[in-house]
Amino acid sequence: MLRAAFWLTALVFLPVGLFVYFLPGGVAAALGASPLWLARAAGGILVAWGGFLLAASGAPDATRVGALAAGNLLTVAALVPAVLRQGAEMVPALRTALLAVSALLGLLAVVALLNPPRRKL
C-alpha cells in the first residue's frame, strides 16, 4: 500500500510537471503565467519531485514517507485556499480538477502516514 501511494503521487506530479514545463504560449497567456520562465522552473521542480518519488518507492523508509506526506500536504495547503478564493472566477472544470487533485494528494498523504515502512530483519 505504501509503494502504491508513492507511485500514484508520482503519477500526479510527473505529467503535471511536464505539462507546466512545456506550457504553450497561448495557454500560459490564458492562465496568466507570466513570465514564462517561472512556469518552466516550476515544471522542472515538479518533474524532479515526481522522479524522486518514483526512486523512493523502491525502498521507502521513514524519511521518504515523511517527505511524501509533507510534500502532498503542502501542495494541498497551497491549492485549496487558492481555488476557494478564486473559485467563482475559474472555469468549473478547472476548479473541479484542482479540488480532485488536492483530495487525491491529501488521501495519499494519509495512506502513507498510516502505513509505516516495514523494518527489514
Cis amide linkage into residue 81, ω under 30° from 0: no
pTM, entire model: 0.77
- Is residue 31 within 8 A of residue 85, CB to CB? The reply is no
User: What average pLDDT does the segment 94-121 reach?
Assistant: 86
Write out the three cell numbers for 65. 514517507
pLDDT in tens, 26-71: 777 766 666 777 778 888 888 888 888 888 888 888 888 898 899 8
40 contacts: CB under 8 Å, gap ≥ 6: 20, 21, 23
> Residue 6 burial (CB < 10 Å; 0-12/13-18/19+)?
buried
Write out the three cell numbers for 54. 518514483
Write out the three cell numbers for 31. 492562465
Q: What is the pLDDT of residue 121?
A: 57
